[in-house]
Amino acid sequence: MKKVILVGGVAGGATAASQLRRLNPDIEIVIYERYEDISYGSCGMPYYIGGEVEERDSLVNMTPGKFRDKNIFVKTGHEVTSVNTDENTVTVLDKANNREITDSYDYLVLSPGGSPKKLPSVKDGEQVFSLHRLADLDYIMSYIEDNNVKEAVLIGSGYIGLEVTENLTAKGIHVTILQHDERIYKNIEADMNGVLYEAMTEHGITLKLNTEIDYVDGSQAVLSNGEKIDAELIITGVGISPNTGFLNNSGVSLKNGLIPINKNGQTNVKNIYALGDAAVTHYQHIPEITMQAALAWPAHRLAHIIANQISGDSSVTHEGFLGTNIVKFFDYHIATFGLSEKEVADVPHFVIDQKQKNKSGYMKGAAPIHVRVYVSTETGIILRAAVVGTEGVDKRIDILSAHTRLGGTVYDLINIEIGYSPPFSSPKDIINMVGYKAREKAENL
């Protein structure tokens, strides 16, 4: 009987294990997870803070017991410390018993994710947390409760920072966001993120640009501008570093700490696969450019592919990602896919901007939506898209992303059929208008 070992038991690891069992009733499956929690929805954690997720345990999908019922063995509190690719073995630290064990595999699936980056200036404050694991959520919630927190500081303005800010605000906590430079949420174009500032003003959030914490003084933070602010709770959201140290000297190739994979989800070692936040791949529409999609859905897509590959179906392959993403900040929704602004600058392109209402303008609640696409001058493919607005952003980004994924050009958008009735769109939806404008622009290039 073949044996698969999975490293990491949350998004990628737990999903790959379930898929493997679905396809192979007989294969032996063991998951090593260094912490206690497995298979939970990290993405839902900010919404438990604000109350939109009512039950903490509803974030948990599978438990070791439920996996056991499927004959999948989960060893929590077990950290894989090294991999021997010649012997096909892993060395594992059983943390509770402080004992090292060796286990062997036919296939190894790596989904170790990343760890939040630490900021030296705040790392010793007892009120300093990051929201990455389920245990972090528990610490944060009890800290808020025990200390009746009313003032929080959020360091960083990535999507997790925005979601946590919204949910702390919903809980009645005043938030100050500190951004070390002059631009928040860099995933979206600087001239399209005005809605974020508007929402912060509307909801009483304080934003301090070009500001960092110098040091923490009790329940206060001393800032780089000399100011002292209340900081009963400090949450850092300044990115993650891949948990791939255990692969050093293993023979598994790393690129800037990330694990490159091929179309089968394989690393450079044939029987070792990787997925999730620690893996690096390429854009689906521009395969020459590498990309990392540190999001939940890519981990799920690759789990399916890797499980099929290991199960002997080599027809299910990975073609790269577009990196489609969306964030909600109060009433506003922001979504993008494709190359970053920096990357797109190196590819010959033209830009189409279109602003119009998300539904028929005469309808109550019709609201502006802004679509920007960067179109390859050579092929007409959308290299990057950005959409900002309220209701209807998700629909537009998903149409553009699916269209691009299937090889559609910007010019084909004139033929896209959008279900129309006044509460939903217009006879010429913003998607169609982008196509018309692109045709006109291309004719005049």
Ligand X SMILES: Cc1cc2nc3c(=O)[nH]c(=O)nc-3n(C[C@H](O)[C@H](O)[C@H](O)COP(=O)(O)OP(=O)(O)OC[C@H]3O[C@@H](n4cnc5c(N)ncnc54)[C@H](O)[C@@H]3O)c2cc1C
- Catalytic residues, which ones? 43
Among 49, 80, 274, 397, binds ligand X (CB under 6 A): 80
Provide the 10 A C-beta neighbour count for residue 444: 6
Under the criterion CB under 6 A, does residue 277 sit at the interface with ligand X? yes
Under the criterion CB under 6 A, does residue 11 sit at the interface with ligand X? yes
Amino acid at 140: I
Among 4, 18, 30, 34, binds ligand X (CB under 6 A): 34
Under the criterion CB under 6 A, does residue 392 sit at the interface with ligand X? no
Kindly identify the residues of this chain, within the stretch 106-125, that bind ligand X according to CB under 6 A: 111-113
The residues, any chain, with a CB within 8 Å of residue 203's CB and separated by 6 or more, are: 166, 169, 330
Give the closest residue to 173 by CA, choosing from 234, 240, 216: 234
Q: Which one of the spans 10-18, 22-30, 52-60, 284-292 is the region binding ligand X (CB under 6 A)?
A: 10-18
Distances (CA, A) of 84 to 74, 103, 104, 107: 21, 10, 9, 12
Among 4, 6, 10, 310, binds ligand X (CB under 6 A): 10
Residues paired with residue 75 on neighbouring β-strands, in sequence order:
32
Distance CA 145, CA 143 (A): 5
Under the criterion CB under 6 A, does residue 265 sit at the interface with ligand X? no
Under the criterion CB under 6 A, does residue 177 sit at the interface with ligand X? no
Distance CA 31, CA 135 (A): 19
Asked whether 125 and 24 are in contact (CB, 8 A), the reply is: no
Q: Which one of the spans 219-227, 271-279, 282-290, 412-420 is the region binding ligand X (CB under 6 A)?
A: 271-279
Under the criterion CB under 6 A, does residue 321 sit at the interface with ligand X? no
Residue 357 Cβ vs ligand X, minimum distance, rounded to whole Å:
27
Q: Which one of the spans 11-19, 250-258, 313-321, 412-420 is the region binding ligand X (CB under 6 A)?
A: 11-19
Under the criterion CB under 6 A, does residue 291 sit at the interface with ligand X? no
Count the residues of the shown chain that bind ligand X, applying the rule CB under 6 A.
33
Under the criterion CB under 6 A, does residue 7 sit at the interface with ligand X? yes
Give the closest residue to 413 by CA, choosing from 373, 357, 445: 373
Among 60, 222, 229, 296, binds ligand X (CB under 6 A): 296
Provide the 10 A C-beta neighbour count for residue 87: 10
Of the pair 46, 156, the CB lying nearest ligand X is at 46
Distances (CA, A) of 266 to 262, 292, 302, 369: 5, 15, 10, 40
Label residue 19 left, alpha or beta by phi (over 0 means left) and psi (-120 to 50 means alpha). alpha
Of the pair 43, 416, the CB lying nearest ligand X is at 43
Under the criterion CB under 6 A, does residue 297 sit at the interface with ligand X? yes
Distance CA 175, CA 330 (A): 14
Under the criterion CB under 6 A, does residue 8 sit at the interface with ligand X? yes
Of the pair 324, 432, the CB lying nearest ligand X is at 324
Kindly identify the residues of this chain, within the stretch 40-79, that bind ligand X according to CB under 6 A: 42-43, 45-46, 79
Q: What H or E segment, with its residue span, contains residue 385?
A: strand 382-389
**Torsional sign, CA 203, 136, 209, 352:** negative
Residue 296 Cβ vs ligand X, minimum distance, rounded to whole Å:
4
Give the closest residue to 416 by CA, choosing from 371, 350, 361: 371
Of the pair 11, 339, the CB lying nearest ligand X is at 11
Q: Which residues bind ligand X (CB under 6 A)?
A: 7-13, 32-35, 42-43, 45-46, 79-80, 111-113, 131-132, 160, 243, 246, 276-278, 294-297, 299
